[in-house]
Amino acid sequence: MSEQESEGAVVPVHECYDDGEAEIVIALLRDHGIEGIANSEVPHSVLPITADGLGKVSVLVDKDTADKARSIISESLKREDRPDEP
């Protein structure tokens, strides 16, 4: 792949189980200056559920920002897993 072809390429950084979750992740990334888009193999108007991975929604970002996006998502998930401090 030439440099021109790879420019603007998007890569998946997170898989979600519904459109709502994907929109939350995209908003999180946008808050950090990273544009993301949601992509699903199956239109949710046809299959509105996720079964055995079918219907998952991938969050895609520009490949140049993928590492930063993964780090932001990972940190956010870690904070969710921590119990609230008194």
User: Which tens digit of pLDDT belongs to each residue from 31-78?
Assistant: 999 999 999 876 655 555 555 556 688 999 999 999 999 999 999 988
C-alpha 14/C-alpha 71 separation (Å) is 11
Q: Are 34 and 76 in contact (CB under 8 A)?
A: no
Whole-prediction pTM: 0.74
Higher pLDDT among residues 30 and 20, named by residue: 30
Instruction: Report DSSP state, residue 44.
Output: T
Q: Domains in the chain and their CATH numbers? A: 9-78 (3.30.70.1530)
